[in-house]
């Protein structure tokens, strides 16, 4: 199974999405959006920017 986005709605909070990895684990959760369309636009933004470089300003080198 491929990774997927799931759009969810919570009464009083609005719409948000989660990104689910191929193993079924949630690996990202979005902010809440007022509209379904805004939530879908957020997914499109993540897709467009997914190849962005990592910026780590924590000053640690753990695991390197």
**What are the pLDDT digits (tens) for 7-59?**
999 999 999 999 999 999 999 999 999 999 999 999 999 999 998 898 999 98
Domains along the sequence of the chain with CATH:
4-49 (3.30.160.160)
Contacts of 9 (CB under 8 A, 6+ apart): 15, 36
SS3 category, 36: helix
Q: Which of 5, 3, 12, 4 is nearest to 32 (CA)?
A: 12
Contacts of 17 (CB under 8 A, 6+ apart): 5, 6, 7, 8, 29, 30, 39, 42, 43
pTM higher than 0.75: yes
């Amino acid at each position: 199974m491929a990774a997927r986005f799931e759009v969810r709605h919570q009464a009083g909070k609005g719409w948000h999405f989660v990104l689910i990895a191929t193993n079924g684990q949630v690996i990202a959760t979005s902010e809440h959006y007022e509209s379904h369309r805004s939530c879908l636009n957020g997914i499109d933004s993540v897709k467009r920017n997914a190849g962005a470089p990592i910026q780590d300003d924590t000053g640690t080198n753990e695991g390197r």
